[in-house]
Amino acid sequence: MSTIRAAITAVGHWVPEKILSNHDLEKMMDTNDEWIRTRTGIRERRILEKGATSDLGAGAVQDMLRKRGMSAEEIEVLIVATVTPDMFFPATACMIQEKIGAKHAWGFDFSAACSGFVFALTVGSQLIESGTYKKVVVVGADKMSAITDYTDRNTCILFGDAGAAVLLEPSSDPSLGIIDHRLYCDGSGGRYLNMLGGGSLNPPTHETVDKKMHFIYQDGKAVFKVAVIGMAEVSYEIMKRNNLTGKDVDWLVPHQANLRIIDACAERMELDKSKVMMNIDRYGNTTAATIPLCLSEWQLSGKLKKGHHCVLSSFGAGYTWGAVYLKWAY
């Protein structure tokens, strides 16, 4: 058993300036602010007009490095959770590595959709706990606007663009840091949330473009039904495994897909709403970025404090879902 515990020792984020509000969407299609707010909790989202996912990720890592007072050259591993890589290959991790000048880092992309950050954080923490690495950066970044059909009101109201990043290091206090994780996937859910075109199954052709196969497809109702149970149950499971009650947990840090899913999760955990990190109203669903974006904002505001018990929890395409329990380390 490893005696090293991995801890998040810095966090940062970067979001584009352009705001796409519900009222803007009202002018583009048959939808309305009231429907979007009550069904999802979203008021507005950010849109990256120029650039790619690597720009969101690079901005986030630079913000994190500045806050930590650390040089990019100290980074050893760079893991990028995303479903909107700049291109199939090279990996977006390589693009970010070059943009920030992380000369001594190797890295790779991680594809687990909305659970990407929770999965990648778990992998990153194992690299620290193995004793092999001392500075691993985990990025969650997605330019969802690149794969969103702005004529499809079922999906385009949901998504936004953002990047956020955390630094993992060996914890100087072994009682703090990443304590437990529980991860799942179920490939039978793939048909309900996907992007069918562009890969080896449906390589790009005029037909795949005409059929809009390069955009996100979601059967919202089907996904909602399993997400609302999946996220709540895995959060409850990780609490029980660690002998925690709702009173012990300081923060639920949920993936921001839908306010109603987050509320159900908090209810299952018997958690007061004041202990739930929520910024879905301002950013919508930014896929792999939602959880580290919450951590970064709450850390910056001073509300997230050393020793706080946090449950990070997600559900997304795959299906993939999972939770991480950690004690905030700085």
Q: Which of 114, 265, 294, 310 is catalytic?
A: 114
Residue nearest to ligand UT7 (CB): 220
Q: Which residue has the tokens 């290959």?
A: 89
Burial 257-277 (b: 16+ CB within 10 A, else e): bbbebbbbbbebbebeeebbb
Smallest separation, CB 202 to ligand UT7 (Å) = 21
Q: Choose the binding region for ligand UT7 from 9-17, 162-170, 215-223, 268-276 (rule: CB under 6 A).
A: 215-223
Restricting to residues 132-191, which ones interact with ligand UT7 according to CB under 6 A?
153-154, 157
Stretch that binds ligand UT7, among 33-41, 46-54, 126-134, 167-175 (CB under 6 A): 33-41
Q: In the beta sheet, which residues pair with residue 8? A: 168
Among positions 47, 112, 114, 266, the unique one binding ligand UT7 when judged by CB under 6 A: 114
One residue of 54, 92, 258, 313 binding ligand UT7 per CB under 6 A: 258
Binds ligand UT7 by CB under 6 A, chosen from 118, 223, 232, 295: 223
Decide: is 221 part of the binding site for ligand UT7 (CB under 6 A).
yes
What phi-psi label fits residue 256: left (phi over 0), alpha (psi between -120 and 50 degrees) or beta? beta
Residues 258/225, Cβ–Cβ less than 8 Å: no
| 255 catalytic per annotation | yes
The residues pairing with 140 across neighbouring beta strands, listed in sequence order, are 81, 164
Whose Cβ is closer to ligand UT7: residue 40's or residue 92's? 40
Please state whether beta strands 320-327 and 309-316 pair in parallel, antiparallel, or not at all (unpaired).
antiparallel
Chain centre to alpha carbon of residue 69? 24
Reply yes or no on whether 114 is catalytic: yes
Any idea which residues carry the catalytic annotation?
Answer: 114, 255, 285
